[in-house]
């Protein structure tokens, strides 16, 4: 029987996830949708799906077995707590929550429940190129990782996200999470440097360079440019003791004509990570069908929240700000069985 899913938040990514859940993936159906804007929810609802005015009513509905949260960040905390109270597996888009206090509340509720229910939307962990890069590092033939260079460039910022903090509280979480996962290391401190601003960015603090000090002593630099016009460009290179491993340029048709030789650049995250999003949901559907969650956890969402908070402090202080994590609860220390 297919997993009956309710989707909360039917904006840009909510609509894209509804498309993949209804038209791309199998073993799942979207039976309910909800959005603060009821008309937007009704427009996005697949045929036969019920439209709920209140997210809480969707979560508690008997017809919904698992929930996908795509509302804006500040709404995630209450919606996650409702899912945990209902004992329903939930996929939550990043940022998991927007404060340390909220992250701790969600973590405490899940630990008290006693089983993992939450998967956070860090889709890079499901990207085939990132997985191959991690396999090389884990294989150990290059020795220990010493440095990681991460580049995160967006062509533009959607109107609703236009704040000076956005590069640090919205964008950095992807680089922070993929760094922790690739290097199998925690982030202990964060430094931020702001070069000359792009004149295209109005009030945006853009670009920024973030230095992540890892618990092992490895050092990570992240270039974040959210307004760079030419496209969505994600790169990564790990320098190890005996070699370097880098993400490949995405395979794309090479065009040769009178303008020269060139390859297309993805327009945005939907295009670059389309297969990663599909795979992240493929694995979520299997785990959710078993009443649990496997991929990036509440612990990972908590870590990313602390890093974003430290980055915001660091940009003000000009100093390295410490990331002080609690001890990891056993629930997240257990190895998670791989899901095919």
Q: Does 121 bind ligand NAP (CB under 6 A)?
A: yes
Determine the size of the site formed for ligand NAP (CB under 6 A). Answer: 25
Closest CA to 225 of 202, 240, 205: 205
Please report how close the Cβ of residue 8 comes to ligand NAP at its closest, in angstroms. 5
Among 5, 6, 14, 83, the residue binding ligand NAP under the rule CB under 6 A is 14
Tell me the C-alpha to C-alpha distance, in Å, between residue 131 and each of 149, 246, 279, 306: 17, 12, 12, 25
Among 3, 6, 7, 9, the residue binding ligand NAP under the rule CB under 6 A is 9
Contact region with ligand NAP (CB under 6 A), list: 6-14, 179-187, 224-232, 332-340? 6-14
Q: Does 93 bind ligand NAP (CB under 6 A)?
A: yes
Q: Does 304 bind ligand NAP (CB under 6 A)?
A: no
Contact region with ligand NAP (CB under 6 A), list: 28-36, 102-110, 148-156, 288-296? 28-36
Please report how close the Cβ of residue 69 comes to ligand NAP at its closest, in angstroms. 8
Please report how close the Cβ of residue 127 comes to ligand NAP at its closest, in angstroms. 11
Please report how close the Cβ of residue 234 comes to ligand NAP at its closest, in angstroms. 11
Taken in order 154, 158, 161, 164, the sign of the CA dihedral is: positive
- Burial class of residue 266 (count of CB atoms within 10 Å of its CB; 0-12, 13-18, 19+): middle
What is the per-residue binding string for ligand NAP in 146-175, x denoting contact by CB under 6 A? Answer: --------------x---------x-----
Please report how close the Cβ of residue 224 comes to ligand NAP at its closest, in angstroms. 14
Q: Residue 190, Cβ neighbours under 10 Å: how many?
A: 29
269-288: contacts with ligand NAP (CB under 6 A): 269
Q: Does 70 bind ligand NAP (CB under 6 A)?
A: yes
> Is the Cβ of residue 98 or residue 294 nearer to ligand NAP in the bound state?
98
Instruction: Give the list of residues 6+ apart from residue 310 with CB closer than 8 angstroms, or none.
Output: 189, 190, 321, 322, 323
Among 6, 21, 94, 102, the residue binding ligand NAP under the rule CB under 6 A is 94
Q: Which two tokens stand for residue 186?
A: 């925690």
Number of separate helices (H) and strands (E) present in the chain: 12, 15
Among 37, 184, 267, 271, the residue binding ligand NAP under the rule CB under 6 A is 37
Tell me the C-alpha to C-alpha distance, in Å, between residue 270 and each of 20, 154, 232, 262: 11, 12, 10, 21
> Is the Cβ of residue 114 or residue 160 nearer to ligand NAP in the bound state?
160
> Is the Cβ of residue 214 or residue 306 nearer to ligand NAP in the bound state?
306
Instruction: Give the list of residues 6+ apart from residue 11 with CB closer than 8 angstroms, or none.
Output: 35, 40, 70, 72
> Is the Cβ of residue 172 or residue 240 nearer to ligand NAP in the bound state?
172
Cα separation, 136 vs 143, whole angstroms: 10
Q: Residues 110, 85: contact at Cβ < 8 Å?
A: no
Ordered strands of the 321-322 beta sheet = 244-246, 233-240, 145-153, 219-225, 208-214, 187-193, 321-322
Omega cis (within 30) before 207: yes
Q: Residues 67, 46: contact at Cβ < 8 Å?
A: no
Q: Does 40 bind ligand NAP (CB under 6 A)?
A: yes
Contact region with ligand NAP (CB under 6 A), list: 34-42, 190-198, 313-321, 323-331? 34-42
Residues that bind ligand NAP (CB under 6 A): 8-14, 34-37, 40, 55, 70-73, 75, 93-94, 121, 123, 160, 170, 269
């Amino acid at each position: 029987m297919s997993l009956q899913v309710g989707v909360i938040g039917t904006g840009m990514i909510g609509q894209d996830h509804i498309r993949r859940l209804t038209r791309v993936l199998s073993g799942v159906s979207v039976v309910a949708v909800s959005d603060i804007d009821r008309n937007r929810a009704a427009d996005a609802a697949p045929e036969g799906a019920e439209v709920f005015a209140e997210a809480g009513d969707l979560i508690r509905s008997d017809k919904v077995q698992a929930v996908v949260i795509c509302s804006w960040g500040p709404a995630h905390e209450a919606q996650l707590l409702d899912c945990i109270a209902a004992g329903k597996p939930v996929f939550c888009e990043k940022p998991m929550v927007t404060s340390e206090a909220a992250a701790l509340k969600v973590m405490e509720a899940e630990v008290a429940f006693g089983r993992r229910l939450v998967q956070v939307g860090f889709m890079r962990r499901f990207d085939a190129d990132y997985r191959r890069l991690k396999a090389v590092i884990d294989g150990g033939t290059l020795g220990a990782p010493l440095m990681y260079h991460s580049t995160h460039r967006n062509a533009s910022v959607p109107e609703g996200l236009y704040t000076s903090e956005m590069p640090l509280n919205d964008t950095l979480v992807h680089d922070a999470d993929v760094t922790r996962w690739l290097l199998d290391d925690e982030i202990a401190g964060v430094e931020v440097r702001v070069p000359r601003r792009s004149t295209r960015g109005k009030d945006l603090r853009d670009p920024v360079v973030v230095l992540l000090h890892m618990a092992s002593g490895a050092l990570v630099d992240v270039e974040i440019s959210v307004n760079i016009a030419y496209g969505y460009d994600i790169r990564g290179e790990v320098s190890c003791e005996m070699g370097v491993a880098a993400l490949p340029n995405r395979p794309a048709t090479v065009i040769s004509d009178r303008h020269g030789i060139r390859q297309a650049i993805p327009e945005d995250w939907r295009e670059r990570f389309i297969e990663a999003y599909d795979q992240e949901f493929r694995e979520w559907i299997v785990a959710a069908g078993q009443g649990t969650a496997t991929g990036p956890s509440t612990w990972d969402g908590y870590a990313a929240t602390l890093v974003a908070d430290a980055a915001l402090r660091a940009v003000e202080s000009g100093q390295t700000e410490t990331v002080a994590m609690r001890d990891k609860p056993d629930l997240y220390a257990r190895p998670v069985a791989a899901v095919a």
